[in-house]
Amino acid sequence: MVQPLSLGGDGPTVAIKDCIDIAGYITSAGSETFSTGPVAAQNATVVDNLIAAGCRIIGKANMHELAYGMTGANDYFGTPINPIWPDRIPGGSSSGSAVAVASGLCDFAVGTDTGGSVRQPAVCCGVFGFKPTFGRVSRDGLTPVNSTLDCVGVFARDMNMLQTGMATIDPTFKRTSIKHPPKLARIKSDLTREVGDPLVISLMESYPDMAYEQLPHMGAAFDAGMTIIAYEMAAEFGHLIDENAPLGDDVRARLIAARSVTKDQYDAAEYIRATFTDEVDALLARYDAIVTPALPVIPPTLTQALDPATILPLTRFLRPFNLSGHPAITLPARTNTGLPVGLQIVGRKGADADLCAIADWFVGCTPYFRGPALIKEFEQ
């Protein structure tokens, strides 16, 4: 799960996803291909920020290979075990980061989110996950090097530590609070009743007057996000196919398929990006934040996840906001039968601290989003 190391001060303990450079250590990005080096020459900017804030980096966290998968499974380095639901996927690609936090190995963890890769494993493992506004946190020293979707994000067991984590990776982040209930809108979503019923009931109990809105291009935005990540991953890692580099079967298949994405398809996806971004911005001009389910289905078991059809829907409500670049946070919860679900709250670009304040308010007035209680039950 975590390659141990010890760097920094005596502040909060942190695990770092292994696609983020730490000077003197190999950045393997979860892949056998890069597991033998070379070592990173310097820290990623986010690592320097953590050390400057006095954090103690306790290790590099395992991940889905090349950050190109949603299960968190890794045949070469081993799959991190979901500590609360060990028969289910830990989620990906930031699997080790989510598991480290859920297991209590660290105070918070740093991951990356290109299409839900912080928020989805956070829900799978019962912790909080935050994807900042695109471009807010430096990507210098990250793998992949080039991405128009990827963001550095944080995991924590409660909102207080989540905001501590944000303030350390981004010194411009300043906590705030809200004095009045926020004006929120719930986005029309297609999901299973097992997920939807408890979420809707909890929302109606805490916020019975919440408006009900639509984002017409949300489905198209999901597809466009898939197209763009494929095109950009093929540009960065497609050569590994020609070199017959050692890769997991799932990642190899995805890279081969990604190389078939054309420039015309990429350009069409960029048009959807602009259209969907305008839709979200227009809605957020009328509301303080918008609310969606985090996942449309219960996270699958490790056995179920062997069928790719069970994985694709997991980011249906997450990936569109990588495309638009808006900050988004997921709050953990459980179904009546004790399985993991979650809520996503999306805020205005640049208003990351306001979004965290809204999430903090939400947790305070809605017992269903228990956060720390999930971990306490596990520890008992």
Q: Respond yes or no: is residue 93 known to be catalytic.
A: yes
Report how far apart, in Å, the C-alpha atoms of 166 and of each of 50, 255, 356 are.
Answer: 10, 32, 10
Structure tokens at 291: 């609310």
Residue at token pair 């989003």: 369
Taking the alpha carbons at both ends of the chain, their separation in whole angstroms is 22
Other residues' Cβ atoms within 10 Å of the Cβ of residue 191: 20
Q: DSSP label at 315?
A: G
117 noted as active-site residue: yes
DSSP state, residue 15: E
Instruction: Name the residue among 118, 109, 68 with its Cα closest to residue 90.
Output: 118
Which is catalytic among the residues 28, 31, 93, 94?
93
CB atoms within 10 A of CB 225: 26
Q: Is 138 exposed, middle or buried (0-12, 13-18, 19+ CB in 10 A)?
A: middle
**DSSP class of residue 238?**
T
Q: CB under 8 Å to 241, separation ≥6 — which residues? A: 252, 255, 256, 259
- Does residue 94 have an active-site annotation? no
Catalytic residue among 117, 147, 189, 324: 117
The two structure tokens encoding residue 158: 């409660």
Distance, in Å, from the CA atom of 58 to the CA atom of 296, rounded to the nearest integer, reads 34
Q: Do 251 and 233 meet the contact criterion of CB atoms below 8 Å apart? A: no
* H/E element, 205: helix 193-206
Antiparallel, parallel or unpaired: β 2-8 and 56-61:
antiparallel
Contact status, residue 134 vs residue 325, Cβ threshold 8 Å: yes
Residues acting as catalytic residues: 17, 93, 117
